[in-house]
Amino acid sequence: MSNEKFDAEGFYAALDGHRQSKGITWKKVASEAHVSASTLTRMGQGKRPDVDTLAGLASWSGIDVKKFYRSNTATLAKSEPLSEISALLRADKNLEGDSAVALETMLKSAYEHMRKK
Are residues 55 and 31 part of one domain?
A: yes
Residue 98 lies in a domain: yes
Rg (CA), the chain: 16
Are residues 59 and 91 part of one domain?
A: no
Residue 90 lies in a domain: yes
Domain region containing 88 = 81-114
Residue 45 lies in a domain: yes
Are residues 59 and 94 part of one domain?
A: no
With helix as H, strand as E and coil as C, how does the chain read?
CCCEEECHHHHHHHHHHHHHHHCCCHHHHHHHHCCCHHHHHHHHCCCCCCHHHHHHHHHHHCCCHHHHEEECCCCCCCCCHHHHHHHHHHHCCCCCHHHHHHHHHHHHHHHHHHCCC
Are residues 95 and 65 part of one domain?
A: no
pLDDT in tens, 73-109: 545 456 677 777 777 787 788 888 788 888 988 988 8
Percent of the chain residues topping a pLDDT of 70: 89
Cα separation of 71 and 6, whole Å? 9
pLDDT level of residue 4 (50, 70, 90 thresholds): low
- List of residues 6+ apart from 51 with CB closer than 8 A: none
pTM: 0.66
CATH of the domain at 26: 1.10.260.40
Q: Given this model, what pLDDT does residue 91 score?
A: 73
Q: Given this model, what pLDDT does residue 1 score?
A: 43
